């Protein structure tokens, strides 16, 4: 028993260590180290913006992940604009005016995207209502089952006493 606990403990440590290591390599794998930011804050902001922009060429990667030349260029543009003190919305405007809304992983909230933003909430609500409806129906049915007439009560008692004998 003690041996098992010990083993588990070691395994746990091993897993968390490898997780930390993995996160570290993931951070190192970003191509950021080739670019010198003016400040740490700029770096954090630039990375968060680039993470939310989609590479127009490798369409399922963001600007940080992608190795395509376009992503490399756009990444650099984002970094430079951040260092030049441009605001987030200015940078996003720069990108969408060239590559379209398509590059936004987080689309703007507008009539065109209401379904996208509110759809999941609507589905959740529908599921909730259906669930509530079903539960209510179910519980009302069990209520009906529980209330027995006097005759039925007597029959039940008879059956039970018969079983005992």
Q: Which residues make up the interface to another protein (CB under 8 A)? A: 56-57, 59, 68-70, 73-74, 77, 96-100, 102
In angstroms, give the least distance from the CB of 70 to another protein: 5
Torsion from C-alpha of 157, 158, 164, 165, nearest 10 degrees:
160
In angstroms, give the least distance from the CB of 118 to another protein: 18
Q: State which residue, 59 or 87, has the beta carbon closest to another protein.
A: 59
In angstroms, give the least distance from the CB of 138 to another protein: 15
Cα–Cα distance measured from residue 30 to residue 16, given in angstroms and rounded to the nearest whole number: 22
In angstroms, give the least distance from the CB of 101 to another protein: 8
Q: State which residue, 73 or 158, has the beta carbon closest to another protein.
A: 73
Q: State which residue, 32 or 70, has the beta carbon closest to another protein.
A: 70
In angstroms, give the least distance from the CB of 52 to another protein: 18
Cα–Cα distance measured from residue 41 to residue 164, given in angstroms and rounded to the nearest whole number: 80
Q: State which residue, 37 or 99, has the beta carbon closest to another protein.
A: 99
Cα–Cα distance measured from residue 105 to residue 84, given in angstroms and rounded to the nearest whole number: 24
Q: State which residue, 57 or 67, has the beta carbon closest to another protein.
A: 57
Where residue 66 falls (left for φ over 0; alpha for ψ -120 to 50; beta otherwise) is: beta
Of 105, 124, 14, the C-alpha closest to 61 is: 105
Residues 6+ apart with CB under 8 A from 155: none
């Amino acid at each position: 028993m003690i041996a098992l606990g010990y083993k588990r403990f070691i395994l746990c440590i091993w897993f968390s260590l490898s997780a930390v290591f993995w996160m570290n390599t993931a951070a190192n794998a970003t191509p950021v180290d080739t670019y010198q930011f003016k400040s740490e804050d700029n770096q954090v902001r630039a990375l968060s913006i680039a993470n939310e922009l989609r590479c127009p060429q490798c369409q399922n990667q963001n600007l940080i992940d992608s190795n395509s030349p376009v992503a490399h260029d756009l990444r650099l543009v984002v970094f430079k604009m951040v260092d030049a003190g441009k605001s987030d919305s200015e940078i996003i405007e720069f990108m969408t005016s060239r590559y379209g809304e398509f590059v936004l992983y987080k689309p703007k909230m507008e009539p065109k995207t209401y379904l996208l933003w509110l759809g999941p909430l609507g589905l959740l609500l529908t599921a909730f209502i259906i669930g509530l409806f079903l539960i209510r129906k179910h519980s009302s049915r069990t209520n009906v089952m529980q209330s027995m007439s006097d005759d039925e009560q007597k029959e039940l008692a008879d059956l039970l006493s018969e079983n005992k004998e």
